[in-house]
Structure 1
Amino acid sequence: MDVPLTKTAYDDTATRWAWRRTAAFRLCTFLLSYGSFVLWLYVVVMTPVWTLWVLMPALFVLIYVAMLNTVRFSGVLSLRRVLRVYPWQSVPGAASTAKNGTTRFSFADPEQPDKQVSLRYGDWLGSGYTFWVRKVRSGGVDEVWFAGDPRFLGVVAVPGPRRLLSVAQREAVDDRMSARKRGVSPEARERARAAGARVG
């Protein structure tokens, strides 16, 4: 499938629909994860006291899942922000599995095409069950679409686009780290800033 020839990824109708589906799905999982606490409390009230030995570990799992879904839902707007700045590009063979089992996306440096820049995904508990880790491990992902600057941040998708995923270099989103300054033109720096990245 060919990438849309639009100025930005979000100018493409299919991309806007993909973002809306992603936002709706993340909202539903966010609400369900918090609704599960009501169910947990109901079970606690309706069962004998000794069952707390079983139900307490379940509460910790629910808290962890709720935290993950909160982070994922809060990232929906930043996903759209990137799509409104960068166009899609097709990158065959970009997804691979790193030695530690995470998924690695490798893209050419926009200003030095002979150099590769990697972005990682899946270094948290339970990530092995996610689409991007499972499918890449099994060899089910050959081509990806990428919108962004791999030196900062971007969005990865299955051609279509489907399965939108936000990826970023840690220094581009973490205030505790120094932002990247070297090897980036002023134009690239401004685009990255417009997409929500921390730039030097």
Structure 2
Amino acid sequence: MHEKTAWADPATRRAWRRTAVFRCAAVLGWMAGFPAWLFAVVMTPVWLLVVWMPVLFVGIWYALLAAVAASSLMGMRRVLRVYPWQAGIAEVRSKKNGSTQFLVPNPERPEKTVGLGFGGVIGTGRHFWVRAVKSGQVTTAWFAGDPRYLGVMATPGPRNLLQVAQREATDSRMSPRKRGVSPGARALARAAGARVGED
């Protein structure tokens, strides 16, 4: 990759737009399921509520997962506007708890890797990254970002965009990472939307 940032690549912008359409459609689809559920409840015998209530709870959970995925779109674009793609540097493996782990070289100590995770939550087992890694279909990935803070994973192309982050880079209840990170790297991470603390 020769572009200064991943976003400068037209293929990245197309991949982001495809991701945005899919995620927004998923949210609308799950929301549209509620009137269908209500219609089914009204049109069937009362005793069938023992079936329809679990369906409602599952629908709400998947709608929340879809909403969270859609809410990450702007953060993903922000990362892609700051960092370039690094092709094939991320090792991908499946963990016993059903989640996916990405191992990315530390930018300032390339001999060491930093782990980023995805999945392990009820409802994420059918996500592309969990399925593809578990089956061995995907073993390496493109990465844009700083693994000590946050980034975007992709399969070559780029395709199948996924935002990943260290918890302390996004959770205000935790102290942001400062140790072992240069001022320049922290400035880039801040521009990408990570919590890096005060200088």
TM-score by length of 2: 0.96
The match for 2:139 is: 142
Please tell me whether residue 67 in structure 1 is matched to residue 64 in structure 2.
yes
Which segment is superposed worse, 136-145 or 8-17? 136-145
Matched-pair contact (CA < 8 Å) for 1:147–1:154: yes
The match for 1:192 is: 189
Gaps of 5+ in 2: none
Matched-pair contact (CA < 8 Å) for 2:93–2:139: no
The match for 1:45 is: 42
Please tell me whether residue 180 in structure 1 is matched to residue 165 in structure 2.
no
Match of 1:128 among 121, 125, 130: 125
Matched-pair contact (CA < 8 Å) for 1:150–1:168: yes
Cα distance in 2, alignment partners of residues 20 and 92 from structure 1:
24
Matched-pair contact (CA < 8 Å) for 1:92–1:142: no
Matched-pair contact (CA < 8 Å) for 2:168–2:175: yes
Cα distance in 2, alignment partners of residues 91 and 61 from structure 1:
36
Q: Deviations over 1:45-67 (max 9, x none)?
A: 11111111110111100110111
The match for 1:8 is: 5
Match of 2:148 among 146, 151, 154: 151
**Cα offset, 1:99, TM superposition:** 3.4
Let me know the Cα RMSD of the aligned residues.
1.0
Cα distance in 2, alignment partners of residues 21 and 158 from structure 1:
14
Matched-pair contact (CA < 8 Å) for 2:6–2:85: yes
**Cα offset, 1:93, TM superposition:** 6.0
Which amino acid in 1 is paired with 2:21? A
Cα distance in 2, alignment partners of residues 119 and 143 from structure 1:
13
The match for 1:109 is: 106
Matched-pair contact (CA < 8 Å) for 1:104–1:120: yes
**3-state SS in 1 of match to 2:125:** helix
Gaps of 5+ in 1: none
Cα distance in 1, alignment partners of residues 62 and 98 from structure 2:
21
**Cα offset, 1:186, TM superposition:** 0.6
TM-score by length of 1: 0.96
Cα distance in 1, alignment partners of residues 67 and 125 from structure 2:
19
Q: Map 1:91-102 onto structure 2 (within 5 A).
A: 91-92=88-89, 94-102=91-99
Runs of 4+ more than 6 Å apart: none
Match of 2:86 among 80, 89, 106: 89
Matched-pair contact (CA < 8 Å) for 1:97–1:136: yes
